[in-house]
A and B are shown apart, each in its own frame.
Chain A
Amino acid sequence: MSERFVVPRRAFLRGLNLAIGGLALGIVFPAEAQKPPSEPAKPPAPATPSGSQAADEPGLRPNVFVHVAPDGTVTIVCHRSEMGQGIRSSLPVLIADELGAQMSRVKIVQADGDKAYGDQNTDGSNSIRGIHENMRKMGAAARMMLVAAAAKRWKVRPEDCVAKDHAVTHVPTGRSLGFGELALEAAKEKVPDPKDVVLRPWSELPNVGKDLPLLDGPAYVTGQAVFGADVKLPGMLTAVIARPPVVGGKVVRFDAKRALAVPGVRHVVEMPTPEPPWRFQPWGGIAVVADHTWAAMRGRAALDVTWDHGPNATYDSDRYREQLSKSVSVPGQVARKLGDVEAALKSAARIVEAEYHVPHLPHLPMEPPVAVAHVQGDRCEIWAPTQNPQAAQTEVGRALGIEPEKVRVHVTFLGGGFGRKSKPDFCAEAALLSKKLGVPVRVQFTRADDVRHDYVNTVSVNRLTAGLDANGRVTAWRHRTAFPSIASTFAESERPGYDDLQQGVLDLALAVPNVSAEIGDARSHTRIGWLRSVYNIFQAFSIGSFIDEIAQAKNADPLDVWLELIGPPRQLSLADLGIERLKNYGQPLDKHPVDAGRLRNVIERVARAARWDRRKQEGRALGLAAHRSFLSYTAVVASAVKRPDGKIWIDEMWMAFDAGTIVNADRVRSQLEGSAIFGMSLALFGGITMKGGAIEQDNFRGGGRIVRIREAPRRIHVDVVESTALPGGVGEPGVPPVAPAIANAVFALTGKRVRELPLVKSVEV
Chain B
Amino acid sequence: MRLGVAMVALSSLAWACNHAKRPAELPPVAKNQLRSVADFSVIADEEERSRALFLEASRVFLHPRCANCHPSGDVPLQGMDMRPHEPPVTRGPEGFGEVGMECGGCHQDRNLELARVPGAPSWHLAPREMGWVGKSPREICEQLKDPKRNGGKTLAQIVEHNMHDPLVAWGWRPGHDREPVPGTQQDFGALVAAWVETGAHCPTDGGKP
Q: Is the CB of B86 within 8 A of A710?
A: no
Interface check B30, CB cutoff 8 A = no
Knowing A297-B114, A298-B114, A301-B114, say if A701 contacts B88 (CB, 8 Å).
no
A465 → chain B closest CB, angstroms: 38
B86 neighbours in A (Cβ, 8 Å): 701, 705
Q: Which of A90-116 contact B (CB under 8 A)?
A: none
Q: Is the CB of A708 within 8 A of B87?
A: yes
CB closest residue in chain B, given A711: B88
B88 neighbours in A (Cβ, 8 Å): 708, 710
A700 → chain B closest CB, angstroms: 8
CB closest residue in chain B, given A698: B116
- Mask, B52-83, CB within 8 Å of A = 1, is 00000000000000000000000000000000
- Mask, B110-141, CB within 8 Å of A = 1, is 00011000000000000000000000000000
A708 neighbours in B (Cβ, 8 Å): 87-88
CA distance A298 to B115 in the complex (A): 11
CA distance A708 to B114 in the complex (A): 24
Q: Which of A659-707 contact B (CB under 8 A)?
A: 701, 705
A710 neighbours in B (Cβ, 8 Å): 88
B99 → chain A closest CB, angstroms: 15
A750 → chain B closest CB, angstroms: 20
CA distance A669 to B118 in the complex (A): 41
B149 → chain A closest CB, angstroms: 24
CB closest residue in chain A, given B88: A710
B-side interface mostly: loop
CA distance A701 to B85 in the complex (A): 11
CB closest residue in chain A, given B86: A701
Sorting the interface of chain B by its residue count into under 10, 10 to 19, 20 to 34 or 35 or more gives under 10
- Mask, A292-334, CB within 8 Å of B = 1, is 0000011001000000000000000000000000000000000
A701 neighbours in B (Cβ, 8 Å): 86
CA distance A298 to B113 in the complex (A): 10
CB closest residue in chain A, given B73: A645
B77 → chain A closest CB, angstroms: 14
B113 neighbours in A (Cβ, 8 Å): 301
A78 → chain B closest CB, angstroms: 35
Sorting the interface of chain A by its residue count into under 10, 10 to 19, 20 to 34 or 35 or more gives under 10
B192 → chain A closest CB, angstroms: 34
CA distance A105 to B131 in the complex (A): 63
CA distance A705 to B87 in the complex (A): 10
Q: Which of A120-144 contact B (CB under 8 A)?
A: none
A301 neighbours in B (Cβ, 8 Å): 113-114
CA distance A701 to B88 in the complex (A): 12
A705 neighbours in B (Cβ, 8 Å): 86
CA distance A708 to B88 in the complex (A): 9
CB closest residue in chain B, given A297: B114
Q: Which of A610-630 contact B (CB under 8 A)?
A: none
CA distance A301 to B88 in the complex (A): 28
- Mask, A702-745, CB within 8 Å of B = 1, is 00010010100000000000000000000000000000000000
A647 → chain B closest CB, angstroms: 10
Q: Which of B89-120 contact A (CB under 8 A)?
A: 113-114
CB closest residue in chain A, given B84: A645
CA distance A378 to B87 in the complex (A): 48
CB closest residue in chain B, given A298: B114
B105 → chain A closest CB, angstroms: 15
A297 neighbours in B (Cβ, 8 Å): 114
A450 → chain B closest CB, angstroms: 16
A712 → chain B closest CB, angstroms: 12
- Mask, B26-63, CB within 8 Å of A = 1, is 00000000000000000000000000000000000000
CA distance A708 to B89 in the complex (A): 12
CA distance A297 to B88 in the complex (A): 27
B87 neighbours in A (Cβ, 8 Å): 708
CB closest residue in chain B, given A709: B88
B60 → chain A closest CB, angstroms: 27
B181 → chain A closest CB, angstroms: 23
A298 neighbours in B (Cβ, 8 Å): 114
CB closest residue in chain B, given A699: B116
A649 → chain B closest CB, angstroms: 13
B114 neighbours in A (Cβ, 8 Å): 297-298, 301
CA distance A665 to B177 in the complex (A): 50
Q: Which of B169-186 contact A (CB under 8 A)?
A: none
Q: Which of A127-183 contact B (CB under 8 A)?
A: none
CB closest residue in chain A, given B116: A699
CA distance A737 to B51 in the complex (A): 59
B78 → chain A closest CB, angstroms: 9
CA distance A301 to B115 in the complex (A): 11
CA distance A297 to B87 in the complex (A): 23
CA distance A708 to B101 in the complex (A): 13
CA distance A710 to B86 in the complex (A): 12
CA distance A634 to B193 in the complex (A): 67
A507 → chain B closest CB, angstroms: 39
B76 → chain A closest CB, angstroms: 15
B4 → chain A closest CB, angstroms: 50
CA distance A705 to B113 in the complex (A): 21
CB closest residue in chain B, given A705: B86
B70 → chain A closest CB, angstroms: 19
Q: Which of A16-72 contact B (CB under 8 A)?
A: none
CA distance A253 to B88 in the complex (A): 41
CB closest residue in chain A, given B78: A701
CA distance A298 to B114 in the complex (A): 8
CA distance A301 to B116 in the complex (A): 12
A619 → chain B closest CB, angstroms: 27
CA distance A385 to B97 in the complex (A): 36
CA distance A710 to B88 in the complex (A): 9
B177 → chain A closest CB, angstroms: 13
CA distance A710 to B113 in the complex (A): 29
B79 → chain A closest CB, angstroms: 10
CA distance A302 to B88 in the complex (A): 32
A706 → chain B closest CB, angstroms: 11
CA distance A301 to B113 in the complex (A): 10
CA distance A194 to B86 in the complex (A): 57
CA distance A297 to B113 in the complex (A): 12
CB closest residue in chain B, given A301: B114
CA distance A438 to B88 in the complex (A): 46
CB closest residue in chain B, given A300: B114
B163 → chain A closest CB, angstroms: 34
- Mask, A257-296, CB within 8 Å of B = 1, is 0000000000000000000000000000000000000000
CA distance A291 to B115 in the complex (A): 20
A664 → chain B closest CB, angstroms: 32
CA distance A34 to B86 in the complex (A): 39
CA distance A710 to B90 in the complex (A): 12
CA distance A705 to B114 in the complex (A): 20
A693 → chain B closest CB, angstroms: 21
CA distance A74 to B165 in the complex (A): 68
CB closest residue in chain B, given A710: B88
A702 → chain B closest CB, angstroms: 9
CA distance A301 to B176 in the complex (A): 13
CA distance A462 to B86 in the complex (A): 33
B116 → chain A closest CB, angstroms: 9
CA distance A107 to B12 in the complex (A): 87
A366 → chain B closest CB, angstroms: 15
A192 → chain B closest CB, angstroms: 57
CA distance A708 to B85 in the complex (A): 13
B185 → chain A closest CB, angstroms: 28
CA distance A494 to B114 in the complex (A): 40
B74 → chain A closest CB, angstroms: 10
B1 → chain A closest CB, angstroms: 54
CA distance A302 to B114 in the complex (A): 10
* Contacts A/B (CB < 8 Å), 9 sampled: A297-B114, A298-B114, A301-B113, A301-B114, A701-B86, A705-B86, A708-B87, A708-B88, A710-B88
Can you name 7 extra interface pairs (CB under 8 A) apart from A301-B113, A708-B87?
A297-B114, A298-B114, A301-B114, A701-B86, A705-B86, A708-B88, A710-B88
**Interface set of B (CB-CB < 8 Å, partner A):** 86-88, 113-114
Task: Please give me the 8 A-B residue pairs with the lowest Cβ-Cβ distance, nearest first.
Answer: A701-B86, A710-B88, A301-B114, A297-B114, A708-B88, A298-B114, A708-B87, A705-B86
